[in-house]
Amino acid sequence: MTTDGGAVELALDHERHQAVIRIRREEHGNRLTRAMARQFVAHLDAIDADDDIKVAVIEGTGAHLSSGWDPREAWEQYVEAPGGAVKKHPSQRARLVALSDEWWGPNGLYRRLLHCRKVTIAKAVGDCYETGLYLTLCSDLAVAHENARFAVPRWRNVGVDGDLSLLIATVGLKRTKELMYAGTAWDAGTASRYGLVDGVSAAPDEEVGRLAEMCASIMRDGIVTEKYAVFASLAKMGVDHAFAAATVVGASLSNIHFQPGEYNFLADRRRHGTAAALERSRRDLG
């Protein structure tokens, strides 16, 4: 499993009732590995179990919140899942298990963040691609730096393999489709206008700090009660259904056949390396 020294750290401030979950893999644009996603989930478990913590801030070190998940694990994650190494190509069940366990399922990163019992605030800085976009989407509040950009470049390479229900509820159907099909990247102002983030700031640390202080002043019962009301609404909105559908379609998309002339990221990566393939695949984001 790839780690490259990347880590997700947890800092607790019981006196101020605040936690910080910090993605630390600056030299790789804070791209998340599976090991880091598991660390992230473990920190959410710790925060949920800590009665003195009311608010969790999600941030990255350096210039970006997160520019995606680590493409070097794109294939490895299936091979290492149960049933993944039985034959030359990972089985369909291995692909489903990998996508569910790490990302979309009950203990996957996104569902776990969405169902955190405490208030979560994302600080969206720089590239908020793929993982970075969904960390923003699954948080309760989001403040964007003026330089933030939101996109899912991978969708242009393979097809749409992420949640749509939450995205549609947040920004609307046609804007979701723009992100799905057109390889669009939204700047911070557009993200704010569409409702993906709650505000844009040249100094997001200050604004996130202000929101965290405010939320930490709310009584514990009030926070958890409101969060469970949100969970009930999410269930009614079919978000769990959409996450499950994303798992199924994501597993199928890992098996697609490319037409002549179509761009194949994994093939490009094999020939030219990860950095070159990433650069090429993201070059013409709109």
Partner 1 sequence: MIDVKVADWVGTVQVADFAGLSRYDAAFAWELRDTVVALADDSEVKVIVLRTDGGDFAPDVPGAPLPSDRSATWRRVFAGAKGLYQSLAFCKKVVVTEVTGACRGAGSALVLCSDLTVAAEESSFGSPFLAVPESNFVLAALTMRLNRAKAWAVTGDVLDAARAEEVGLVNQVVPGASLRAETDALAARVTAMPLDGVTMSKMLLQAVLDAHGVGRDFDLATHYAARRRHAENAGGGAL
Rounded least distance, CB 9 to partner 1, Å: 34
236's tokens: 């009614």
Sort 190 into a burial class: Cβ within 10 Å, 0-12 / 13-18 / 19+: middle
Rounded least distance, CB 130 to partner 1, Å: 15
Question: CA angle, corner 60, sides to 55 and 65, nearest 5?
Answer: 105
Q: Applying CB under 8 A, what is the total number of residues that bind partner 1?
A: 37
How many helices (H) does the chain have, and how many strands (E)? 14, 9
Sort 106 into a burial class: Cβ within 10 Å, 0-12 / 13-18 / 19+: exposed
Binds partner 1 (CB under 8 A): choice among 160, 223, 234, 277: 160
Q: How far apart are CA 227 and CA 118, in angstroms?
A: 7
Binds partner 1 (CB under 8 A): choice among 17, 155, 186, 269: 155
Tell me the window of 29-37, 69-77, 85-93, 168-176 that interacts with partner 1 (CB under 8 A).
168-176
Tell me: does residue 241 bind partner 1 (CB under 8 A): yes
Tell me: does residue 172 bind partner 1 (CB under 8 A): yes
The 8-class DSSP code of residue 18 comes to E
Tell me the window of 30-38, 101-109, 250-258, 272-280 that interacts with partner 1 (CB under 8 A).
250-258
Tell me: does residue 253 bind partner 1 (CB under 8 A): yes
Rounded least distance, CB 133 to partner 1, Å: 16
Rounded least distance, CB 164 to partner 1, Å: 5
Give the three-state DSSP class for 220.
helix
Rounded least distance, CB 40 to partner 1, Å: 25
Mask: binding to partner 1, 263-282, rule CB under 8 A, as x and -? x-------------------
Give the pairing type, strands 18-24 and 7-13. Answer: antiparallel
Within its chain, how far is the Cα of 118 from the centroid?
18
Binds partner 1 (CB under 8 A): choice among 86, 256, 275, 276: 256
Residue recorded with tokens 């569409």:
194
Question: Closest by alpha carbon to 61, among 28, 22, 32, 16?
Answer: 22
Summarize as ranges the residues that interact with partner 1 (CB under 8 A): 155-161, 164-165, 168, 171-175, 177-178, 180-183, 194, 238, 241-242, 245-246, 249, 252-253, 256-259, 262-263, 286
